[in-house]
């Protein structure tokens, strides 16, 4: 049975069920088509999240503009779907192993797959779309992008997710000043964690500002590089939890000021005003989260 090569972004659950039924007659073609379907649904959800993060004026909103936005999002999602080495290839491998399982199980596996380094390209596309936003829209988009990873880090450390995503916003300038690899791609290091002697992973070497004896100096430094934002949050959580240097940070994370001061005392940054700046960023983040809840 041949599998249709039509638009993979229909998002129609019935079409996915038809693909599931055709697996017995043409499993390989079915796997490829289903992978594109699921990647399309995933990318549309990402676009929807970014659209929801935008604050609407309400002046020109109507059923027509809503339909137009949905069609535009579908076109953007189409362009980001089915690329070689992208998310659909990862999904295809998952489906290939699980054709005998219910479709609901496959869908949950897709969600888990999206957090793996192999799916970093799809996350990078979403982060890049933040560049079209500014001001509050960009800030809200940044919080939504990192919400899941921050909550996972909270479960591992006990540090409030809002505190950690606020620190990521402070270190990266709401994603505008992420540390780049030599080829210009993102290192996903939104926490500005340096690569010390014990770090065995990839690194990104950039020029940064350090304060020494009260004077700011430009220096070359090596920073840790990750395969995804989730890896960055996971590594940050591990450092906070396992490094004795930051034990008091975890213990004093009940308040924004206590958390920020703990980081400064532990030597997280050389900026003498780091605690005050981070405290203000956390309070800004908390206000944004309450306003958009």
- Please report where in the chains the tokens 């362009």 appear, as a residue: 79
CB of 272 within 8 A of CB of 286? no
Q: What is the DSSP letter of 228?
A: S
Q: Which of 170, 181, 166 is nearest to 226 (CA)?
A: 181
CB of 8 within 8 A of CB of 81? yes
Catalytic residue chosen out of the listed positions 12, 52, 61, 210: 210
Q: Which of 141, 113, 134 is nearest to 47 (CA)?
A: 141
CB of 225 within 8 A of CB of 202? yes
Annotated catalytic, 210?
A: yes
- Please report where in the chains the tokens 């005392």 appear, as a residue: 265
Residue 194 CB neighbours (<10 A): 12
**Torsion angles phi and psi, residue 141, rounded to 5:** -60, -40
Instruction: In whole angstroms, give the CA distance from residue 268 to residue 194.
Output: 10
Q: Which of 196, 216, 205 is nearest to 273 (CA)?
A: 216
Catalytic residue chosen out of the listed positions 235, 242, 271, 276: 235
Q: Structure tokens of 225?
A: 């590089």
Q: Which of 31, 143, 10 is nearest to 97 (CA)?
A: 31
Instruction: In whole angstroms, give the CA distance from residue 33 to residue 7.
Output: 10
Annotated catalytic, 26?
A: no
Say whether 173 sits in a helix, a strand or coil: coil
Residues carrying an active site annotation: 210, 235
């Amino acid at each position: 049975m041949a599998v249709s090569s039509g638009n993979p972004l229909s998002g129609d659950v019935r079409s996915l069920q038809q693909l599931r039924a055709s697996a017995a007659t043409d499993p390989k073609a079915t796997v490829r088509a289903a992978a594109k379907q699921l990647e399309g649904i995933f990318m549309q959800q990402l676009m929807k999240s970014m659209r929801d993060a935008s604050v609407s004026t309400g002046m020109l909103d109507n059923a027509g503009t809503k339909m137009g936005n949905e069609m535009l999002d579908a076109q953007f999602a189409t362009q980001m779907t089915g690329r070689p080495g992208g998310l659909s290839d990862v999904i295809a491998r998952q489906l290939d192993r699980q054709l005998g399982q219910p479709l609901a199980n496959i869908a949950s596996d897709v969600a888990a797959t999206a957090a793996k380094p192999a799916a970093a390209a799809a996350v990078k596309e979403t982060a890049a779309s933040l560049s079209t936003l500014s001001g509050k829209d960009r800030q809200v988009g940044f919080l939504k992008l990192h919400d899941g990873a921050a909550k996972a880090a909270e479960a591992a450390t006990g540090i409030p997710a809002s505190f950690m995503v606020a620190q990521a916003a402070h270190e990266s300038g709401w994603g505008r000043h992420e540390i780049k690899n030599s080829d210009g791609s993102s290192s996903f290091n939104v926490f500005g964690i340096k690569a010390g002697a014990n770090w065995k992973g990839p690194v990104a070497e950039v020029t940064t500002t350090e304060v020494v004896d009260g004077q700011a100096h430009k220096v070359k430094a090596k920073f840790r590089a990750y395969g995804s934002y989730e890896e960055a949050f996971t590594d940050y959580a591990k450092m906070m939890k396992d490094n004795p240097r930051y034990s008091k940070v975890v213990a004093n994370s009940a308040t924004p000021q206590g958390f920020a001061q703990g980081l400064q005392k532990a030597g997280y940054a050389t900026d003498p005003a780091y605690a005050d700046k981070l405290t203000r960023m956390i309070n800004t983040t908390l206000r944004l989260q309450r306003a958009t809840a």
